[in-house]
Structure 1
Amino acid sequence: MTERALILEMGMGADVHGQDMTKAALRAVSDAIRHSSLTLFGAYKHPSAMRVEVTIAVPLPDQVDKAAVAAALPYGMIEVTVVEGGLHDRGMGGREDITLAIAGVKAFLDTEGHGFTLDGSGSSY
């Protein structure tokens, strides 16, 4: 098996009125995947075969529903890791505080035996 990281996207999401870590995380993942049009995976005919690593950074990691984050991705075998980070802006006070989450989404696929190769520069042909 020759698994290669083919995509890395970053995203940011906010919950502006509820301090909901999962809501902010879901918005960060949505932001990340909306930056990509992944036509490459159509050539493989098996997008569910890709492995996707999601890393979420939020102020309170234990409050993120990892299953909900994984369910937000359309394809692949999803692995979700949540770490401390992001931002919790307490400037507004109470329920008006803003929570920001950052997401990194990486997609890997076994490229062995397919009709193109990846060279060291990252270009494909």
Structure 2
Amino acid sequence: MTSNSCCLLLNFPVQVRSLTNYTSNNKNFPFLRLTNPSSLRLQPPPISAPQSKATSAAMEADQSTTTNTSTSTSSSGSCPPMNLLFVEMGVGYDQHGQDITAAAMRACRDAISSNSIPAFRRGSIPGVTFDQMKLQIKLGVPHSLQQSLDIERVKSVFPYGKIVKFEVVDGGLICSSGVHVEEMGDKNDDCYIVNAAVYVGY
């Protein structure tokens, strides 16, 4: 291999006169022999043509439309982002009186009553204060009873934390309690059951 041979590592247009193979450890490494190594020159990046005023105006209009769309989406009542820590789940019943709100409140109490959250009060999460605790509530309620649910009464179950989302979906159960007790306010023997999931984060 002569002194004017070099390994072609750069992607530049060059003139190739011949190809030689160099063998080492039974592996072939191709090298290119250049007729004129001094012809290597950096090629400047292509310069795009200046945009017309009409093109620039159209691009600005597209960007404005995109910005307005994202703004309207964020203000449409969607749930804000939350760093989820854990999920509590519970079940609530109303065996007498046929009060779906009472069943939902018991479901939420069941979800949170066996948990303690000292991390927020003691500052165990760096940079997060107790006031930044967030809750998302999801209830499974029989479809035919959802209009009778008093959401504000259910929210009153939670002693602290900001409720950022409250969702009611088809779920739960209506079954027979096996007995109709008029003295307890029964209109029939229906028993209402509600499922609750409480998402806690910040």
Summarize deviations over 1:83-102 as a string: whole Å, max 9, x none.
12101003636532111100
Whether the 8 Å CA contact 2:82–2:134 is kept in 1: the answer is: no
| Matched length | 108
Summarize deviations over 1:60-91 as a string: whole Å, max 9, x none.
22221111111110112113211121010036
Whether the 8 Å CA contact 2:91–2:196 is kept in 1: the answer is: yes
Q: Relative to 1, partners in 2 of residues 1:48 and 1:75: Cα closer, same or farther, differing over 3 Å?
A: farther
Higher RCO (Cα < 8 Å, 6 or more apart) = 1
Normalising by the residue count of structure 2, what TM-score does the alignment of the two structures yield?
A: 0.49
Structure 2 CA distance for aligned equivalents of residues 47 and 11 of structure 1: 24
Structure 2 CA distance for aligned equivalents of residues 21 and 48 of structure 1: 31
1:51, CA displacement in angstroms? 1.4
Unaligned ranges ≥5, structure 2: 1-80, 181-186
Whether the 8 Å CA contact 1:53–1:105 is kept in 2: the answer is: yes
Whether the 8 Å CA contact 1:9–1:35 is kept in 2: the answer is: no
The corresponding residue for 1:55 is 138
Give the secondary structure class of the aligned counterpart of 2:131.
helix
Summarize deviations over 1:46-71 as a string: whole Å, max 9, x none.
33321100111111222211111111
| More displaced 10-residue stretch of structure 1: 12-21 or 87-96 | 87-96
Whether the 8 Å CA contact 1:54–1:105 is kept in 2: the answer is: yes
Normalising by the residue count of structure 1, what TM-score does the alignment of the two structures yield?
A: 0.77
Give the secondary structure class of the aligned counterpart of 1:95.
coil
Give the secondary structure class of the aligned counterpart of 2:152.
helix
1:108 aligned onto 2:201: yes
Give the secondary structure class of the aligned counterpart of 2:89.
strand
Structure 2 CA distance for aligned equivalents of residues 91 and 37 of structure 1: 33
Higher strand share: 1
Whether the 8 Å CA contact 2:90–2:108 is kept in 1: the answer is: yes
The corresponding residue for 2:170 is 84
Q: Relative to 1, partners in 2 of residues 1:3 and 1:85: Cα closer, same or farther, differing over 3 Å?
A: closer
- The structure with the largest alpha-carbon Rg is 2
Whether the 8 Å CA contact 1:64–1:82 is kept in 2: the answer is: no
Runs of 4+ more than 4 Å apart:
none
Identity of counterpart residues, as a percentage?
A: 35
